[in-house]
Amino acid sequence: MNARLPQFGEEDHQSILRSYDLIPGIYDEMMDPAAGLRRHWQPFVAGVQAMTEADLNGYLRKAERMLRDSGFAHSLAALAGVPERPWELDFVPLLIPAEEWPLLEAGLVQRARLLNAVLADLYGPQRLLADGHLPAALVFANPHFLRPCHGIAPRDGIYLNTYAADLGRGPDGRWWVVADRTQAPAGAGYALENRLIMSRCMPHFFRQTHIHRLAVFFQKLHNGLLARTGRDDPRIVLLTDEAKVDSYFDHSYLARYLGYTLAEGADLTVRQNKVYLKTVEGLVPVDLILRGIDSELCDPLELDTQSSLGVAGLLQVARARTVIVANALGSGLVESKALMGFLPNLCRVLLDEDLILPNTATWWCGQDDALEYVVRNLDAVAIDQAFEPRPLLGSTSGPILCSDLTDRQREQVIQRLKRRGDNFVAQELVVLSSTPIWQEEALHPRPMSVRVFIAASEDGYTAMPGGLTRVSATDNPKAALLRRGQGAKDTWVLSHSPTSTYSLLRSRVGTMSPRRRSKDIPSHSADNLFWLGRYAERAEDMTRAVRSVVRRLTEDPSDPLEVTVLQRVVDVLLDKTDVAPASNDEVSTGVTTSIERQINSLMFEPAIQYGLQITVADLKRTATLSRDWLSVEAWRALSRLHLEATRSRLSGRFDVSETIERTEDLVQALATFSGLETENMTRDYGWRFLDMGRRLERGWHLARILRGLLVRDEPEEDGSLVLLLEVADSIMTYRWRYLATPMLAPVIDLLLLDETNPRSVAFQIAALLQHVDNLPAVVSPPARSDAQRIILSLSTAVRLAEIPILCEADADGYRGTLAALLDRLDASLPRLSEAITRDYFSHAESRRPVDLKPATEEA
């Protein structure tokens, strides 16, 4: 961000607004075409113009740094396979004047009450259908009407614990509801993060301006959920889907702020008509599930049988009222646009009130008169699916602007409306108001909408005095063109008097007892940490090995035996990839072209499984999902590592010098990340699982490298021993101990059997044994778990191994005893990973006994 802002006098706003050209025909939030700058914007504009260039640049840098350090992003390559795009937070907020808020708040609260009442009727007596206030097709044809949920009345009659409305301001200055969000309203975490960043980067604005705080809203939301459970200390989980990038960070931040456990469907299970959370210490009961996924996906047993995100049996538990699901299952029914045209009448029927906030004019085409009107006024409306976001014309989903269609396309739309009008809805083309954004060193108007959140508190519904404002990337003001993924800004609701400074982030030390034990660790968090360790170590091991091989390529080896050794190392790295192996002719003739080709693919080809690019992407993904466990410094190191790895791409030729430089940088970045991630973590179960992942991956990798280089031929003569010591980062230790040319017996001892060498196999086995013994027991003593039996068996085998016997070779130069031990390690370490996964991550029963006999092939 590079911003230049000249100095201004307090009464002169012309320079800062020099590029602010109003969009014709729409309402502008900051400027009145006749009177100029609106009164409630004047203090903010005066504050901005009083900032020096250094102040503004410092603010922009600080905001950018906070977003980067938090890992806050709208879309992640790690989760979605697309280029990462940081969350775009504009430093100019949307200002809502104090005199407008009471009416807005009243209208939003009324709307939440109304939609809750509609849900109570449609999932209960259905009088609205019987009395003709709603067409039956509008309800029963809606896939979000879940028949298995009919008759399940939630406690206190609250179907909507949270609700959000997307608002836009029309040309006349009135606020309109553009869309209702009742399924699992997303964005509150984003709004909270926007506010925290703004308040920390520009604290003087919050000290000098009366702005409603957001913490009171979240406290009322929390208290409302607590009241529904009837317990003082209930266990509340926020059910999320980590693959849905638009909402994962939102859920993660909100759960962290409120102190809830972020869980996926696989973390929950139903036992004896109750819901339990899977933790590394076992199953713990759940009192309330704050739902962040669609209702249909929540129970594969009774709802969507194809869903892998829900909890089998959840609906039955909801019927038994042993757990509260908020929002209630089936609440997405009233999110349909088709319902909006009926809300004014429903408000009078159910609440005996007139609707305070108007809707965007909406026509459900399942009614003859509405269909006739839409066909006559096609150019003045946007056509969309009434229930599901499926394509209406061609392959593009979303609203269709009929005024942009060709004659043939218009005829196609009309025919579809006449055939199945009940599937479609038409909405008036409401143009949105514009709000200023900071761009190209000045303020510019952009169309915007704002999502405001409402929560059920102990004494009724309450609205967030703020929200998530989204701005369009263009100056097109049509509501139908606003899409997710555009810029965001904080929303300030102003007040004429001082506001509460209450914060959920502060607590008086005297009211809280110190504790050193962390909260329950959900199984998926432990799983992510375990694989974070594995991916980090896998990337480091791979890069170290490639660096050692490429260094030897700079010497242009001509001895076929030396080339064979290098090829064996590369073969180990390529064992699970689909990179073409070297031909026998290439190996026998000592040609290094195949090695160069394979390394180039392994390191820089983005689609190679088990290659560096995919490994680093997996590392970033698991680190993102484990963000709460990582320090800011570790996250920065990871970001640098990710950028360093992904900027390397497959080139047309292999460049030895460039590859060495790349591997040096990557090894340094990986070592930095590894040190920070482990040294800054408390020694709880989370750290243990992360370190177990590292130890398991390092031991497995080194055992396979040892197997490739030591079990045959003469490693003392072909350069294998020096290469091994270098790959294992133990060459200085060997020289310090022996001051001699590497020999087979001491190398085997140092890299395989020495428990004092942190790079040896024995050290990894000993560390794993200690970790496994300190995990929560999964069987009653004196019995041992499968994981304990596997690692204890390996530890015994390694400790009892005799170096002279390991070094013995037959007439063909084959060391059978050494090969058997390394094969056992190669087979047993993956089985250890399976046992840990089964006992602590999936909590499944063992389906087969663990084989502790030496294995000759990989599991």
The CA-CA-CA angle for residues 590, 591, 593, to 5°, reads: 150
Asked if the model's pLDDT at residue 544 lies above 60, the reply is: yes
Tokens of 715: 């490693």
Give the pTM.
Answer: 0.82
pLDDT for res 653? 60
Q: Are residues 590 and 443 in the same domain?
A: no
pLDDT band at 557 (very low <50, low <70, confident <90, very high): low
Domain final position from 681, 713, 741: 681
Q: Are residues 626 and 719 in the same domain?
A: no
Lowest-confidence region among 30-34, 445-449, 500-504:
500-504
Asked if the model's pLDDT at residue 652 lies above 60, the reply is: no
Domain that holds residue 390: 380-429
Instruction: Give 454-496 pLDDT, tens digit per residue.
Output: 999 999 999 999 999 999 877 776 654 445 446 789 999 999 8
757 falls within a domain = yes
Q: Please measure the distance between the N-terminal and C-terminal CA atoms of the chain and give it in whole angstroms.
A: 51
Asked if the model's pLDDT at residue 245 lies above 90, the reply is: no
pLDDT for res 510? 42
565 falls within a domain = yes
Tokens of 789: 């039996």
Q: Are residues 224 and 284 in the same domain?
A: yes
Instruction: Give 78-95 pLDDT, tens digit per residue.
Output: 444 444 555 678 889 999
67 falls within a domain = no
- C-alpha to C-alpha distance for 169 and 38, rounded to whole angstroms: 16
Pairing of strands 324-326, 288-291: parallel
Rounded to the nearest 10 degrees, how much is the dihedral formed by the CA atoms of 755, 759, 761, 766?
Answer: 40
- C-alpha to C-alpha distance for 668 and 648, rounded to whole angstroms: 16
45 falls within a domain = no
Q: Are residues 268 and 402 in the same domain?
A: no
295 falls within a domain = yes
pLDDT for res 14? 52
Asked if the model's pLDDT at residue 505 lies above 80, the reply is: no
- C-alpha to C-alpha distance for 532 and 635, rounded to whole angstroms: 13
47 falls within a domain = no
pLDDT for res 854? 39
Average pLDDT of the segment spanning 317-339: 94
Residue with tokens 């570790």, as numbered in its chain: 634
Q: Are residues 423 and 442 in the same domain?
A: no
Domain final position from 637, 664, 681: 681
Asked if the model's pLDDT at residue 521 lies above 70, the reply is: yes
Asked if the model's pLDDT at residue 45 lies above 90, the reply is: no
Instruction: Give 177-195 pLDDT, tens digit per residue.
Output: 999 999 999 999 989 988 9
pLDDT for res 80? 41
Q: Provide, rounded to the nearest whole percent, the portion of the chain with pLDDT above 70.
A: 86
Instruction: Give 688-723 pLDDT, tens digit per residue.
Output: 999 999 999 999 999 999 999 999 888 888 888 999
- C-alpha to C-alpha distance for 454 and 295, rounded to whole angstroms: 19
Higher pLDDT, 164 or 54: 164
Q: Are residues 403 and 484 in the same domain?
A: no
Q: Are residues 153 and 296 in the same domain?
A: yes
Pairing of strands 236-239, 261-263: parallel
Which residues, other chains included, contact 259 with Cβ-Cβ below 8 Å and sequence gap of 6+?
A: none
Name the CA radius of gyration of the chain, rounded.
32
DSSP of 296-346: GGS-TTTS-TT-SSS-TTHHHHHHHTSSEEESPTTGGGGG-GGGGGGHHHH
pLDDT for res 591? 64
14 falls within a domain = no
Instruction: Give 779-838 pLDDT, tens digit per residue.
Output: 877 889 999 999 999 999 999 999 999 999 998 889 999 999 999 999 999 999 999 998
Give how far the C-alpha of residue 356 lies from the chain's centroid of Cα atoms, to the nearest Å: 37
pLDDT for res 2? 31
- C-alpha to C-alpha distance for 35 and 22, rounded to whole angstroms: 13
Q: Are residues 470 and 613 in the same domain?
A: no
**224-233, 278-287, 795-804: range with highest mean pLDDT:** 795-804
Phi and psi based region of residue 24 (left: phi greater than 0; alpha: psi -120 to 50; beta: remaining) = beta
Q: Are residues 177 and 306 in the same domain?
A: yes
pLDDT for res 856? 36
Cis preceding linkage at 327, omega within 30: yes
Q: Are residues 809 and 837 in the same domain?
A: yes
Asked if the model's pLDDT at residue 587 lies above 60, the reply is: no
Number of domains forming the structure of the chain: 4
Q: Are residues 123 and 238 in the same domain?
A: yes
pLDDT for res 243? 66
48 falls within a domain = no
Instruction: Give 833-855 pLDDT, tens digit per residue.
Output: 999 998 888 765 443 333 344 33
Asked if the model's pLDDT at residue 547 lies above 80, the reply is: yes
- C-alpha to C-alpha distance for 383 and 310, rounded to whole angstroms: 32
> Helix, strand, coil shares of the chain as percentages rounded to 5?
50, 15, 35
Higher pLDDT, 5 or 183: 183
Q: Are residues 703 and 640 in the same domain?
A: no
Domain final position from 470, 502, 534: 502
Higher pLDDT, 512 or 539: 539
DSSP code at position 328:
P
Question: How high does pLDDT run on average in the chain?
Answer: 84
CA nearest neighbour of 699 among 755, 775, 640: 755
Instruction: Give 378-404 pLDDT, tens digit per residue.
Output: 888 888 888 876 656 654 556 788 877
pLDDT band at 8 (very low <50, low <70, confident <90, very high): very low
